[in-house]
Structure 1
Amino acid sequence: MHPDRATTPASAAPSGPELHAGSDFLHLDIADAPRGGRAAWLADRLRVAIADGRIAPGTRLPATRVLAGDLGVSRGVVTEAYQRLVEEGRITGRGRAGTVVVSAPVPAAPPAAPSTPPSPTTLFPPAPGSDIFDAVRTAPARIDLTPGVPDLAAFPRADWLRAERTVLRQLSAADFGYGDPRGAPALRRAVAAWLARSRGITVDPTDVLITAGVSQALGLLAQALRADGIDHVAVEEPGSLGVRQHLNNWGMATPPVTVDAAGLRVDELVASRAPAVMLTPAHQFPTGVVLNGERRRQVAAWARAGGVVIEDDYDAEHRYDRAPVPALRALLPEQVCYAGSVSKLLAPALRVGWLLVPSRYREAVVAAKRNADLGTSVLPQLVLAELMTSGALERQLRLLRRRHVRRRDAMVAALTAHLPEAVVHGAAAGLHLTVTLPGDVPDTAVAAEALERGVKVQPLTWHCQRAHRPGLVLGYAARTATDIDEGVATIASVLRGLR
């Protein structure tokens, strides 16, 4: 009996190569086989594919009837080819499991020596390149205290699966086609309701654009602004290196404007003559400062005089010791481009965000989104909409706030115990703390040495275009209290050794 237990006689199989030109399987073309040696030819093609790894161990081969029909040969040809490989120990018959490859591919050359990972010193240059976050993200560390990541272990898997099943039960076949490039209507409605409840923003769902996170939103905005003659966007100083790099990649100059204890210095913004500004007013990155009432009024006056505000509502949901701050977009709908996402609430891997723009930019931004990808993946949008409308997302936020505040407190306690000379900034909200350090030891050197000892952090000066006091940006949301204490103790030890 041949490997896949077929018993139909060969005469019952399709006859004549004229029925089929070939097979998608390994791109086999029976016309290449010699007339009297088809079984040997097929066995050789399979043997070579197993040897070079195109057919991996564990792969189930096509049933003899199926492959014979595809090739337009008698079933006996395929049976004989398979039998030869069985005898050579390359494949085996496993009953109902079919015919399975069991031999490993033969390497064409000795495997290359593993590449040496970059040293921590090269990972923390004073002037990081555009690929720096990719490099740091993949660098191994025992304790990762880099900012910007929520507690990924808290992702609501059960709620997500429940919402996914609900969505799949309701979908029609037509729903699996191409969607609206602006986003699934269900999610646009859910986002509009979410923003009204949590951020005080009144927006028609038809004016919500769904994006692949805030990063894509910035790229779409950059294209629309450049078409409007704007090629300078002022940014906060200190301010997010990643945002600055992204705007630069889209051809935008990013002049720095100082952030102090009250937020962005609007007098500097006016003096810069920049036509647009990028702000994180609810929880400034990386300092944690909230744009105060007087500065908000000044920004509003500047915007009404013709300026464009890009508002990244960074970490707005994660607040612990202060009242909520309304979004600028709620006050200035025709002057503010507003971007948000679920990266800090659920997981960055979802790559789902939203963008609201003044009416004069809406058509250009939608066109840029359509040209970019025809629209964000629809199924995750619909599942997220179900989470928002069912109340599951609010429950997740309440859980995260309780967990994050405990970890924030653990980091403050660790800093008090191990680094009492450091000044802590931004503890009232968010997923990270910023600390400024005593002395003049470069924070890039501190970060490099900490990584040598298994603790990953970000140097504050990365997020500065001008000279700035050294410091560190420390994420706490994704680590346990024990990890946080050990990580901060390691940083303190590094500082003592570098002084």
Structure 2
Amino acid sequence: MPKSWSGSVDLHLDIDTSGGRRAGLERALRAAIVAGRLAPGTPLPSTRALSAELGLSRGTVSAAYDQLIAEGHIIAVPGSGTRVADIAHRADLAPVSAPSTWAGSATATAAGLSSGEVRRGESRRTPVHDLLPGRPDLSTFPSAAWLRSTRRVLAEAPSEVHALSDPRGRPELRAALAGYLGRARGVHADPERIVVTSGYAQSLGLLASVLREAGTAAFAMEEPGHPFHRAIVRRAGLGVVPLPVDDMGARPEPLDGVGAAVLTPAHQYPSGATLGPDRRRAFVTWARDAGGLLVEDDYDGEFRYDRQPVGALQGTAPVHVVYGGTTSKTLAPALRLGWLVLPAHLVEPFAEAKRLADAHTQSLGQLVLADLIGTHAYDRHVRASRLRYRRRRDLLVRTLRARVPQVRVLGIAAGLHALVLLPDGGPGEDEVMRRAAAHDLALMPLGGHWHHPAGRPQGFVVGYSTPLGAAYPAALDALCAVLTTRPA
């Protein structure tokens, strides 16, 4: 009869003893290892413990272990017990999927996916070279500082921190953010007007829902702009009106019939333009006179290279601007930590929308971030990252100017990406994407960022922060090869 064992590694193990107890145990363990349910390095119970759990003799368990050791599935380390061997058993059993074309696909672009993000039901492998925008260099995550802060939080936080709490977020983080945003970004941020969210995407979606319920029919959103953010607004039941962008940022027209305008003033995505002073004043005047709302997406405002970071638009008109920030570019997107600084009249309805969505953002990460900010470890990490990304930007610009002078590189004064425009004589985005696939290079075409792409300039949004560590020069070599290769 089959037996089940959950043991010290919490694995359900079905043992069919019809062919013998030892053989049945061998088959069950082997199958669990090959299927990946027992991962490499997983410790196995001692022969004494496992024999007691399964009601088998210790000799039977020892014999099964010996056989799996001989096959290479497990290893016995003197003084450390028995563990699953570090070998790739699952490769032969992995399902075969269709080849991927990296972020040159309309699907990836329209969904706003970065490398490592997977659409439901879609199998995507990691490219050799990754220049997609949307995330920092994850190899530089401040693990030591995060660990120190985590230890302090766990040692000092009261037990109630593990209970459901204020949907606006932990008061410790809201106070820390108020101080940091005022000091570093020029934001007027009372802790009582800050709501912590699970990232900017949630911030935008909840805000769109709140404004729709208050009577807003449409948002103005930058053209070109982030396609994923447009999809979020439409999902909330609102219309989207294109807001044209030029080298001075978004133009404050047309704004008739919209209740809010979503802007990226410090570093427009994807053009890289900074919103000019006259445009800032014009948008604020519209919001004040028309009763509209400006939504400031300050997704990478800390990273300015030609001068001090441009202060937040919210600092000039806190009653008319919702300020949105996130740790996705400064630390890591997987932390799922974002925030909105709201005008007073929106705090209560937005907090209620957050409560109904998911009660509140997980508390431990909030407290760790508050500690990072309070000890200035966050500032130190941002400053170090700014220097590192500036060097990467400089290498990208020098490399393209020297090796691919026919392309134009824009938006390089700030941020984590550059806009590379293709020459009018070709090749176009589709051709470059075919070459990129041949070079195993992940690129993000500009086409999907337009509300109406017909007749628009063609190019690519190149994320120079994405490659891990020493992989960056090789990724630039691949980019140059893709942009200079001619069809056979």
Common topology (TM > 0.5):
yes
| Structure 2 equivalent of residue 294 of structure 1 | 278
CA, structure 1 residues 239+60, in 2 after alignment: closer, same or farther (shift >3 Å)? same
Q: Measure how far apart 1:181 and its partner are.
A: 2.0
CA distance in 2, matches of 1:477, 1:203: 29
Q: Measure how far apart 1:131 and its partner are.
A: 7.6
| Structure 2 equivalent of residue 179 of structure 1 | 165
TM-score normalised according to structure 1 size: 0.79
Q: Is the 8 A contact 2:270 2:419 kept in 1?
A: yes
CA distance in 2, matches of 1:124, 1:236: 22
Q: Is the 8 A contact 1:211 1:352 kept in 2?
A: yes
Secondary structure of 2:431's counterpart equals helix
RMSD: 3.7
Match of 2:433 among 443, 447, 468: 447
Q: Is the 8 A contact 1:91 1:100 kept in 2?
A: no
Letter of the 2:146 partner, please give it.
W
| Structure 2 equivalent of residue 125 of structure 1 | 106
| Structure 2 equivalent of residue 53 of structure 1 | 32
Q: Measure how far apart 1:127 and its partner are.
A: 9.4
Q: Is the 8 A contact 2:175 2:191 kept in 1?
A: yes
CA distance in 2, matches of 1:497, 1:46: 58
Letter of the 2:366 partner, please give it.
Q
Q: Is the 8 A contact 1:284 1:314 kept in 2?
A: no
Letter of the 1:283 partner, please give it.
H
CA distance in 2, matches of 1:97, 1:142: 36
CA, structure 1 residues 94+214, in 2 after alignment: closer, same or farther (shift >3 Å)? closer
Show the 5 A alignment for 1:61-80: 80=56
CA, structure 1 residues 297+260, in 2 after alignment: closer, same or farther (shift >3 Å)? same
Show the 5 A alignment for 1:299-338: 299-304=283-288, 305-338=290-323
Q: Measure how far apart 1:148 and its partner are.
A: 2.0
Q: Measure how far apart 1:195 and its partner are.
A: 0.7
Between Structure 1 and Structure 2, how many residues are aligned?
451
Match of 1:407 among 389, 392, 412: 392
Letter of the 2:461 partner, please give it.
V
Secondary structure of 1:254's counterpart equals strand
CA distance in 1, matches of 2:108, 2:62: 60
CA distance in 2, matches of 1:311, 1:464: 20
Secondary structure of 2:187's counterpart equals coil
CA, structure 1 residues 123+162, in 2 after alignment: closer, same or farther (shift >3 Å)? same
Letter of the 1:458 partner, please give it.
M
Q: Measure how far apart 1:235 and its partner are.
A: 0.7
Q: Measure how far apart 1:64 and its partner are.
A: 7.7
Which consecutive aligned stretches of 4+ in structure 1 deviate over 6 angstroms post-superposition?
A: 22-28, 40-48, 62-68, 90-102
> Quick one: percent identity of the two aligned structures?
36
Match of 1:430 among 415, 419, 439: 415
CA distance in 2, matches of 1:184, 1:62: 44
Letter of the 2:356 partner, please give it.
N
CA distance in 2, matches of 1:283, 1:129: 21
Letter of the 1:497 partner, please give it.
P
Q: Measure how far apart 1:84 and its partner are.
A: 4.8
Match of 1:382 among 358, 367, 380: 367
| Structure 2 equivalent of residue 489 of structure 1 | 480
Letter of the 1:226 partner, please give it.
R
CA distance in 1, matches of 2:206, 2:163: 24
Letter of the 1:256 partner, please give it.
P
Q: Is the 8 A contact 1:410 1:484 kept in 2?
A: no
CA distance in 1, matches of 2:401, 2:77: 64
Q: Is the 8 A contact 1:150 1:346 kept in 2?
A: yes
CA distance in 2, matches of 1:333, 1:131: 29
Letter of the 2:154 partner, please give it.
L
Letter of the 1:444 partner, please give it.
D
Q: Measure how far apart 1:175 and its partner are.
A: 2.6
Larger Rg: 1
Which moved further from structure 2: 427-436 or 229-238? 229-238
| Structure 2 equivalent of residue 34 of structure 1 | none
Show the 5 A alignment for 1:116-195: 116-119=98-101, 124-125=105-106, 129-130=110-111, 133=114, 134=117, 138-195=124-181
CA distance in 2, matches of 1:257, 1:148: 22
Secondary structure of 2:32's counterpart equals coil
CA distance in 2, matches of 1:98, 1:345: 41
| Structure 2 equivalent of residue 208 of structure 1 | 194
Give yes or no for the alignment of 1:477 onto 2:477: no
Q: Is the 8 A contact 1:143 1:487 kept in 2?
A: yes
Q: Is the 8 A contact 2:43 2:81 kept in 1?
A: no
Q: Measure how far apart 1:207 and its partner are.
A: 1.6
CA, structure 1 residues 67+205, in 2 after alignment: closer, same or farther (shift >3 Å)? farther
Q: Measure how far apart 1:117 and its partner are.
A: 2.8
Q: Is the 8 A contact 1:418 1:488 kept in 2?
A: no
CA distance in 2, matches of 1:95, 1:201: 59
CA distance in 1, matches of 2:113, 2:378: 32
Q: Is the 8 A contact 1:460 1:471 kept in 2?
A: yes
Structure 2 segments unaligned to the other structure (5+ residues): 13-18, 70-75
Q: Measure how far apart 1:23 and its partner are.
A: 9.8
| Structure 1 equivalent of residue 258 of structure 2 | 274
Q: Measure how far apart 1:224 and its partner are.
A: 0.7
CA, structure 1 residues 267+173, in 2 after alignment: closer, same or farther (shift >3 Å)? closer
CA distance in 2, matches of 1:444, 1:135: 22
Secondary structure of 1:255's counterpart equals strand
| Structure 2 equivalent of residue 218 of structure 1 | 204
| Structure 1 equivalent of residue 72 of structure 2 | none
CA, structure 1 residues 48+66, in 2 after alignment: closer, same or farther (shift >3 Å)? closer
TM-score normalised according to structure 2 size: 0.81
CA distance in 1, matches of 2:477, 2:6: 56
Q: Measure how far apart 1:344 and its partner are.
A: 1.0
Task: Give CA-to-partner distance per residue, 1:344-377, whole Å, 9 cap, x none.
Answer: 1111121111112222222221112112222111
